[in-house]
Structures are given as structure tokens and as C-alpha cells.
Structure 1
């Protein structure tokens, strides 16, 4: 928006309080949104199995993942053109609409309405995932992974507790006349509406638009000081310029590396892909996020159904709630530690650690049989592996592409991640019915091996290594 881009850019000393305010607000909305996403997803497979059968349960879960992926495209367009605030709010609003439709589907036992509702429900996940990138817009280069991981970790507070409240939500809304297993989706709708409202009211100034103004101001400062701004799309040069601005270092005479200009309408997914495919580090970042999500969705989605095979119906919800709570704790609780390690050790070593953890998770869960504590350990390891690939991969991608296409590249990553998870969710129900849970975990482990090969592949520059 022209008015935003012509607003005077904050000086270096003003960026830190803006970033702190942004992180506090994102932290709050991630808690609310985490409750909304998790309390619904925790019973999604059970509701789908009740309406349409076990084989279709995975498809219903994958509909939410597909929805999150597809919605990343329009949400990214909104973010690119107007900033993080309206894009995140729209995603939450769509998720709220999906929650309403799922409740209606449960009341009418309509399979098409269920799938449509789950598709739109994915908007909550779109918002929660895109929020992590808003934490990077104004972050100092040596703190990017930690601040991104802080937003990821915020989801823990709501997401870990939410599955345990699923039974309470279901009982409460049953008294209102809602069908069994639909109550958690009613609560999700309320959470999404609240998160959207908080963002619309208080995410000001917008971090992405502020970062663009800072980039433009650095170019003007370089030219005014007698140097000639040399446009560059090199990620290392952009990071160096951001570090200088954050430290308050004066501009030097002579040619300087200028950050890429603010994104234009044409800087969409196609432009982002053109950049990503030429950069090994960016490709590894996208692959790490996508493969980690694929394995997590495949195993997690069918775990409630697996537990339902050897626990009575009246006992399964509390057990599912406990197991998924611990799994989600693995996903989010140690995210700040993962972020710290990513900044200290590098992006690639943490991705490799995530790969090893995912393989261990598949081995433990797949051999647990009917031993619920061992299955729980496997699910916790699954969450830890997802956290490592998500935090390190997202950070690596964000700093490996130029400013002009960064929001689109981030949206592209979430699109690929979503379709990878959707494929896993769609196939998991069929594999579960045909071959069982152990075979499902074995196939999930096999899916990790291409990422291992890509992460071990030698690279030519130090920049790619980081």
C-alpha cells in the first residue's frame, strides 16, 4: 500500500520495541489459535470415522491439511500486497467458517459438508504457520531462529491443553443440543474469531511493511551518503545490510549492497519458485519443512484410530487427549531450545538431528503394539523431529531468498508442506485399514530418506551451509 510505504521508516533504535511488541502479540494469538486448531483436530478423525468410516477418516484429516495448503496462496497474496495483519486475520476467519460447517455436517451427517468444513478449517493452521514468519521480518540476523521458534513455542500453551478439554467441550455442547464430537469444533470457531479480532486491532505497525520501509530507507541512506546502491538478491548481502542497520553502523561510501525492493504484484509463487530452484539452501529449507510435516501427519493422524482398536469407546477420548497432548508438547515445548541450537550450530545440523529423531519416532511407535506408554514416547519423539525440521527449515528458507520474494517463498513452502501432509493424511487411512499401524510407521520412515540425502549433500558456499 502506497501510504504504508511512504510512512517514515523507524530508525534502528525504534525497531527493537516494535519487534518486542510484535512478538508479544504473536505469542498471544498463537495461544488462542493453538487452542482452536488442536481442540478440533484432536477429534477430527474420530468424527469422520463416525460419519463415513475408518478408511475415510484419513481423508477428512487430510482435507484440513489441503485447506491449509490451498489457503496459503490467497493469504500470501494478501500478505504480499497489504502486510501480515490482514492476511493472518483472513486466514483465521476462514478457519472459523470451517468450524461452523463441521458442526452442521455432524448434525446432518453430511459427508460433503464435513469435507468442505474441514477444508476451510485448515485456515486456522494457515494462520498459525504463517505467524512464525512475521517474527522474522524485523529480527536481527543472529536471533532469527530463536524468535521464530518463540512464536512456534507459544502454540504449546494452548495446543497441549486443548486435546484434554475435548471431552469437556463435547459434554458441554451436547447439553446445547449439538451432536457428539462436534463440540470441540464449536469451541475452535470461537477461538479463531477471537484471534482474528486481536490481530486486526493491535498488530500495528505491521512488521512486514515496517521491514520494507527500513529496506527502502537503507537504500536512500546509502545513495545520500555518496555511495551507489547496487541492487542484489544475494541472501548473504541482504543479511549483512540488515546487521549493519540493526547495529546502527553508518553507511560507507562507494557501492553498497542494497536490499531487494519491496515486493511488487508480480512477485508471486511463480517468481518465488524461480528463485528457490536456483538456491540449494532454499530448496533444503522447503524440503525439511515438507518432509517433517508429512511424517508427522501420517503417524499422528492414525494414532487415535490405532488407540481406538484396543481401548473401549468410553475410555478412548481421555487416552487420545493425553497421548496427543504429550505429542504436541514434543512439537512445541522445546522449540526455543531448537531455535537456540539452530542459531548456534547452524541450520543444516539441526535439520539432520530432526531427521534422526523422526526415524527413531517411527521405530518406537511402530513397535509399540498395544503398549500405550511406549506409543506415547514415539509420539513425543515424532513431535521433536517435526520441531527441528520446522524451525531450522523455516529459518534457512527465510534467509536464503531476497526480500522481494520472501513472503511468496514462505507461502510456497507452506503450500508444499500442506500438500505433503495432505498426501500422508489421505493415504494413512487406507494403509491403516489394509496393513495396520506398524506398516504405516515403516512407510513414514522410508519417506524421510530423501531428506537425509539432501541434507548430507555437499554445498559450495558457506552461505548455503548456514
Structure 2
């Protein structure tokens, strides 16, 4: 049904495709319109993501009654995001970005509603299932960044990613700082306070999905793929790629994936346990929201500058900058006073910034290397690994802190991030 709709909507024939190829102005208009729609959806998506991240661990701690499993919520919704990333990637490859992204956000909204219901009924099983489904919103929030790159050339890709990401900032920063208000609202309607932010998450994710479903037409991925197909046919390009080019592409895909996977692992592990660590040292829920708000703001707000730097001074340079920034964050969090808000805000902001550098540079490396014919599917597969690394980070973070300390966790994460440096050196070895 969707295939027929897309075929009818876009009428992928040589004359239609040629109208975009022969008119850069028309293609540029579609590119700008696509970015605008993605920006609007990401504002809502950011609120949905941040609200759940802020209190997920605290809700689990409250319902499960122990600290050692407080990494489970992050693990579950990142594990759920792994399955969703694969699903959204495959759906986008077959039907276009509109169908894939809208489905992912709507599923995330349903998961958030389930979390609220689990808190209301005190059902642990429903909580665990709902967090898994809620992860679809997390995956879609990340996958949306690819929609901005579909119609961008090689010198615009990082900036296109940054446009999609920076628009998440408004919702992402507002979400944690609405924790108190949403908690009060939840209590007023007979729902536990910690479930309040998930009411916001449900509304935000559903709105993000509807924006994409209604407004993302024509679909940027279908347009880009059609143009690539026509250009390849008209150029009489051989079906088999040059073996050296294929080798470079595989190396680029691996390098891009490695950057995103490692930065996601380190960031998620430290972020997951920070609210618990703060709770143990007498910080209020409002202070937790403030620290996480700065962290998520740093994850997305610098994106425009980061995108410019990635396009200007290089993908590898910014990937290495990511590793160094994460190291500084880990050392600062480990050595700073536990009761210092200034230290916690700075460390978590640097953690978000290091993740930002890694995600944008890694995404650009991946888009450069993946051919249009398999790009969405490859992107979805890589985001599965990114999500799984986050799930692993969430699980291990609770175990490490329970068995050792928060300082050990942050130091290990910071040192681990330095693996990106030899990966970047290897990716350029024998490259011509």
C-alpha cells in the first residue's frame, strides 16, 4: 500500500527525476523544506527523549527498591532502540524516511504511555515492556538526522546533520527542567510524580510522528535515491565497484560506526548513573534536572558549530577531539567534589559535547562511505550497534558503581574513549 502511495506521489520516472537534476534551485528548495520539517519534529522528539532519560533510573529505583538495577531502564530503552533502529532503517530503505521515522516516533509515544500506566498500577512487568517500546523514540530521534543528509552534497553533510540535531535542543533542555512541573501535574491527577515526565514524553513523541507523517512530502530519501539511479544509468557506470573504492567504503563504514558506538557507550554509562550518584549526595530532583538539562543541551546545542568544523577541518580531527573531550569529562567527574553542582554541570556538559563531536563526525564518515542504494539500511544497521552499546553501557554502569564507585565508572569511560585515536589513524592508512 505504502509502496503504491510513494510511487504515485513521486512518479519516479526519468522526466520527473530530471526536473530535480536540471534545476538545482528546485532541489535546494526541497532540501530546505526537508530540513524545516525535520527541525519541527526534532523539537518535539527532543522533549520526549530528555523527559524519560531524566527520571527513568529514579522510577526504576523507586519501583524495584534497589540501586544495583537502576541501569536497567536505560538498558531497556536503548535495547528497544536497537530493534527500532533496524526496523526504521529497513522501513526507510523500502518506503522512505517519512514512513520509517513517523512509525518510530509513534511507537515511542505508545511506550511512554505504557510507562505511565505501569507506575499507576505498580506493574514491574509493564514497566519493563513499556521501556523497551519507549526506546523506539530514542532510535528515531537519532535516525532523523540522516533525513537532512539525503539531499546534501559532501561538503554539506555534517552541517545537515547538525541542523537536525540542534533543533532537538529546545525540547531536550526543556524536558528535564519540566520534571518538577510534570511531577506536580501527575500527582494532581492521581499518578506517581516520577511518571509525570513520561506524560510529556508520550505527547511529544506522538506530535513528532504526526509532523513527519503529514509534512515530509516529497520524501527526501526517495528523491535522492531516484536521482542517484538515473545518474548511474545515464553515466553507464559498471555494476561492480572498483575493489579499492569498495575497500575504502568498508573501512569508512567501520570507522564511522566505531566512533558512534564508542561515544554512545561512554556517554550513556556515565549519564545513567549521574542522577543516582547525585541522589546519594543529597542533591534534589530539581538539581538533577538542571545537570541533565545542561548535559543534553551540550549534546545538541553546539551542533551547528560542530557541523561546520567537521566539514571544514575534517571528520577524523573532530572524532579525535571527541575522545579527548570525553576523557576530560571523566577525569573531572571522578576527581571533583561530589557535592559541587559546578563540577557536575561542567563534567556532564563536556560529556554531552564529546558525544556531539563523535556523533556528527561519525555520521558524516558513514554517509560519505555508504552508497545511496543501501544507505538507509546501512544507517539503520549501524544505529542498532549504537543502541546496543548504549544498552550495554546502561547495564554495566550500575554494576560498576555498585561494585566500586561512580569515580571508577567515569575514569574508565574517559580512558576507553581514547581508543578512537588509533581507529582514526587506521581508517586513513593506505587511503588514496
Q: TM-score, normalised on structure 1? A: 0.86
Give, in whole Å, the separation in 1 of the partners of 2:321 and 2:238. Answer: 38
How big is the shift at 1:276? 8.5
Q: Which residue of 1 aligns with 2:31?
A: 19
Q: Counterpart of 2:367?
A: 398
Q: Hey, what does 2:256 align to over in structure 1?
A: 285
Q: Alpha-carbon deviation of 1:83?
A: 0.3
Structure 1 residue 462 displacement after superposition: 4.8
Select which of 263, 281, 284 maps to 1:310.
Answer: 281
Alignment of 1:433-448 (within 5 A): 433-448=402-417
Q: Contact 2:175/2:197 (CA < 8 Å) preserved in 1?
A: no
Deviation, 1:72, is: 1.0
- Tell me, yes or no, if the aligned pair for 1:40 and 1:188 is still in contact at 8 Å: yes
Q: How much has 1:201 moved relative to structure 2?
A: 0.6
Cα shift readout 1:317-373 (whole Å, capped 9, x = no counterpart): 110111111111211111111111111111111100111001011001111232221
Q: 1:454 to 1:372 in 2, by over 3 A?
A: same
1:197 aligns with 2:210: yes
In the aligned structure 1, how far is the partner of 2:239 from the partner of 2:311? 27
- Residue 35 of structure 2 aligns to a residue whose secondary structure is helix
How far apart are the structure 1 equivalents of 2:153 and 2:430?
22
Q: Is the 8 A contact 1:339 1:391 kept in 2?
A: yes
Q: CA deviation at 1:458?
A: 6.2
The residue number in structure 1 matching 2:337 is 369
Gaps spanning 5+ residues in structure 2: where? none
Contact 2:248–2:431 under 8 Å retained in 1: no
- Looking at structure 2, the residues matched to 131 and 95 of structure 1 have their Cα atoms a distance apart, in angstroms, of 14
Alignment match, 2:237:
229
Give the 5 Å matches for 1:260-409.
279-311=250-282, 316-370=284-338, 371-409=340-378
Given that 1:39 and 1:166 are in contact with CA atoms closer than 8 Å, whether structure 2 keeps it comes out as yes
| 1:214 corresponds to 2:227 | yes
Deviation, structure 1 residue 235: 11
Q: Distance in 2 between matches of 1:171 and 1:279?
A: 51
CA distance, structure 2, for counterparts of residue 51 and residue 368 of structure 1: 31
Tell me the SS of whatever aligns to 2:428: coil
Name the structure 2 match of 1:261.
Answer: none
Change (3 A) 1:233 1:323: farther
- The structure-2 alpha-carbon separation of the partners of 1:372 and 1:410, relative to structure 1 and needing over 3 Å to count, comes to same
SS at match of 2:238: strand
Q: CA deviation at 1:236?
A: 11
Give the structure-2-normalised TM-score: 0.93
Partners of 2:183 and 2:194 within 8 A in 1: yes
Residue deviations 1:101-128 (CA, integer Å, cap 9, x gap): 1111111222221111111111111111
Residues 286-339 of structure 1, C-alpha deviations (whole Å, 9 max, x = no match): 000010010000001110001101116xxx111011111111121111111111
Structure 1 residues 321 and 290: CA distance shift in structure 2, 3 A: same
> Unmatched 5+ residue regions in structure 1?
223-227, 238-274
Secondary structure of 1:142's counterpart equals coil
What CA distance in whole angstroms lies between the structure 2 residues aligned with 1:150 and 1:457?
A: 29
- Please give the residue correspondences for 1:4-15 in structure 2 after superposition, counting only pairs within 5 Å: 4=10, 6-7=12-13, 8-9=16-17, 10-11=20-21, 12-13=23-24, 14-15=26-27
What is the root-mean-square deviation of aligned Cα atoms in Å?
1.9
Taking structure 1 as reference, are residues 148 and 397 closer, same or farther at Cα in structure 2, changes over 3 Å only? same
Q: Name the SS of the counterpart of 2:70 in structure 1.
A: helix
| Aligned 8 A contact 1:329 1:383 in 2 | yes
Query: Which residue in 2 is equivalent to 1:272?
Result: none
Counterpart for residue 78 of structure 2: 65
Residue 233 (structure 1) shift = 4.3
Change over 3 Å in CA distance of 1:148–1:458 after alignment to 2: closer
The aligned runs of 1:246-265 (5 Å cut-off) are: none
Q: In the TM superposition, what is the alpha-carbon distance from 1:15 to its structure 2 partner?
A: 0.7
- Aligned residues of 2:182 and 2:193 also touching (Cα < 8 A): no
**Stretches (4+) displaced over 4 A:** 232-237, 275-278
For 1:109-188, what aligned pairs fall within 5 Å after superposition? 109-188=122-201
Structure 1 window deviating more from structure 2 (81-90 vs 363-372): it is 363-372
Alignment size in residue pairs: 418
Paired position in structure 1 for 2:386:
417
Which residue matches 2:397?
Answer: 428
Q: Does the Cα contact within 8 Å between 1:80 and 1:407 map onto a contact in 2? A: yes
Is contact 1:42–1:324 with CA below 8 Å preserved after alignment?
yes
> How far apart in 2 are the matches of 1:89 and 1:71?
12
Corresponding position of 1:38 = 50
1:77 positional shift:
1.4
- Retained in 2: the 8 A contact 1:51–1:109? yes
Q: Is the 8 A contact 2:71 2:397 kept in 1?
A: yes
Residue deviations 1:15-34 (CA, integer Å, cap 9, x gap): 10000000001001000110
| 1:219 Cα offset (Å) | 3.2
Q: How far apart, CA to CA, are the structure 1 residues paired with 2:148 and 2:288?
A: 32
After alignment, is 444-453 or 28-37 more displaced? 444-453
